[in-house]
Amino acid sequence: MSKVILQIDGNNFYASCEQTINPSLKGKGLVVLSNNDGCIIARSAEARKMGIPMGQPYFKLKNKLTQLNINVRSSNYELYGDISNRLMQLLRKNCEELEIYSIDEAFGTIKRPKGKCLYQWGKDLRALVYQNIGIPISIGIGETKVLSKISNHLAKKIKNNSGIFDIGIIQNKDHYLHQIKVGKVWGIGKRMSIWLKSKGITNALELRDMSSEQIKGKYGVVGLRIQNELKGNLCIPIKETSSEKKEICVSRSFSYPIDTFEDLNQAIIKYVLIASAKLRKYNQLSSAITVFTHTNIHSKDFFKSEATEKISIPTSNSRIMIEKSQSLTKKIFKPYKKLIKAGVILHKLQSNKYEQNLIFNSQNIQKDLYLKRLDNIIDNINSKNGIDTINWGSTIIKKEWSPSRKKVSNIKTTDIENIPIIYAN
């Protein structure tokens, strides 16, 4: 038996999630908007067929969307994250190895019996995911990650394949590699794509067959790996455990400009608490914190400011982070500036396995233990009952400047208050 690489992703993921919790949207045009209902970041298959472009500002297409009777939803990241977790858990049970690549993508491995087609296995997995989660997936199968990505692209492109393509059993691979533009090959960035085209390389087949010395001379081992993967030689292995994050950033645009210290301070504290919770989730500590804010980049008096402070003892404690952020917020705030965005960056991260404490200071050690217990209690309650079920007092007050989500769907999977009530006689 040989091991093959799978590339699995959710089709039109954000739109599919919205259709899952609201079946009346299935088969209809649907777009999902970015923060503050700014731009279109996801489209259903029906909206694509109607010619709705990605990345366009909502206000420019609002009338057209209404005329075409296309549904509009604000981004609901709590929902998308929850459905993503369910999808990955299901995939992990059906793959020998699994590497979560993004919110809607994963690489996996499975053994292929000699000469055996995996289409039926793929169909069964697609049916299982749709039955349990309600979203359609595409499955690309190949000997390497690059080939599995190409297979996934072909699975979506070729309708007769029912969302599955196995390039490993195809006799005329060259025919399909010729169809893939070089800029669509996984790992080929914009600059590399421009360079390859200048050398006459326009598709995956030509990239596979070009001079290895030529690509090595320009892009070294990175270029060679991509080329060898196209040849069917596995060079980029599956990583079951994701590498530790180097920094955590939480930022938001406001629904309208703010200009008071109280508003900015409350926003920064809220973002600090989100970032601190992420630190604990990833079992990491931070030894530096940065806060930043800015006005509209197109305004005549554009203003931006940031400040950083080192943390002598790396921590993930919310209270310590709040104290640090408040002093930094005072440094970056400037009166009468119309601020439209603010954020927090926790950096210089390390594993909490190597947490250091002050020697000969039992009182502080005991205090740290109490603060850790408090953080853990808050995290556990919010994990079970929904975000902000319990939190620090400075973040509880609802502010009108919070990101606008006028068309957000009901959160039926992450908030117990929004679970439908069914009455039985």
- Element containing residue 63 per DSSP (H, E): helix 58-67
Q: Which residues of 115-143 are buried (b: 16+ CB within 10 A; e: fewer)?
A: eeebbebbeebbeebeeebbbbbbbbbbb
- DSSP line for 169-194: G-S-HHHHHTTSBGGGSTT--HHHHH
Distance separating alpha carbons of residues 29 and 69, to the nearest angstrom: 7
Contact 405, 18 (CB under 8 A): no
> How do strand 71-74 and strand 30-33 relate by DSSP bridges?
parallel
3-state secondary structure of 335: coil
Distance separating alpha carbons of residues 360 and 327, to the nearest angstrom: 28
Distance separating alpha carbons of residues 6 and 122, to the nearest angstrom: 10
Strand pairing partners for 164? 139
Distance separating alpha carbons of residues 195 and 192, to the nearest angstrom: 5
Q: Note the pLDDT of residue 288.
A: 94
Mean pLDDT by 10 residues, the chain (425 residues): 90 93 91 87 92 91 92 90 93 93 93 82 94 94 95 89 88 92 93 94 94 92 94 89 78 87 92 92 92 90 93 89 93 92 92 66 67 83 74 64 71 69 76
Q: Note the pLDDT of residue 376.
A: 83
Tokens standing for 98? 């699994």
> How do strand 284-295 and strand 304-315 relate by DSSP bridges?
antiparallel
Domains of the chain listed by start with CATH number: 1-170 (3.30.70.270), 172-242 (1.10.150.20), 247-395 (3.30.1490.100)
Tokens standing for 226? 């991509």
Contact 339, 254 (CB under 8 A): yes
Among 227, 150, 154, 233, residue whose Cα is nearest residue 196: 227
Taking CA atoms, 217 is separated from 28, 46, 48, 235, 379, in Å, by: 50, 45, 41, 18, 50
Contact 152, 38 (CB under 8 A): no
Distance separating alpha carbons of residues 383 and 373, to the nearest angstrom: 15
The DSSP output letter for 60 is H
Q: Which amino acid is at 143?
A: E
Distance separating alpha carbons of residues 356 and 378, to the nearest angstrom: 23
